[in-house]
Amino acid sequence: MDSKTDTQWPPEQLDVKTFARDAAQLTGQAPLSAWERLSEEAQPGLQAPAVRWSAQGELKVQAGTPDEVWLHLQVHAALPLLCQRCLTPVLTPVEVDRSFRFVADEATAMALDDEAQEDLLVLSREFNVLELVEDEVILAMPLVPFHEVCPAPLPMSAADPLFEQAQEERPNPFAALARLKVGRSS
């Protein structure tokens, strides 16, 4: 993946605490094909622009408590998804703008999760920002992608000639009951 920063901050093995202490920033971009799980969601037929992202570290000094380590993430992507109206590919913009607070361990994250308004992640010396980028884009994808205006008119009829024919050929069960009833009463 193309990273536009020096090698001091490798996005695959980021020392988040030092990154935040230095208020450092990372930016990068990569073609959709470089993101394995995003590529699986993509529909053929449309060329997607590169996924662009940036991460900014921040250390918030807290009086009487340990400093808080934060990571602010922004991602801009356009994914070729399947329009749920016309079932053709649609280039769908996906934007992510989220902030994460890092805590010491998984137990702390679980304990604080219910009361914290922000997203909590576990502090690591080898945090993979690229995995976070991909996770957040997947979470931000629309459940039902669609064109604003589909490229072809949509059929407004749900009639199926084979279904209609089968219904005509099938005997009505109530008519059969009526014949049985008439046969018994005579």
Q: Are 26 and 16 in contact (CB under 8 A)?
A: no
Least confident of 60-74, 125-139, 163-177: 163-177
What residue segments make up the domains of the chain, in order of their start? 2-153
Pairwise CA distance, residues 43 & 136, whole Å? 19
Q: pLDDT class for 1, splitting at 50, 70, 90?
A: low
Provide CB contacts within 8 A for 30, sequence distance 6+: 1, 2, 50, 51
Q: Residue 60 and residue 118: Cα distance in Å, rounded?
A: 14
pLDDT, tens digit, 9 for 90 and up, residues 137-156? 999 999 999 999 998 887 77
Specify the pTM. Answer: 0.76
**Which range has the top average pLDDT, 54-68, 114-128, 134-148, 152-166?**
134-148
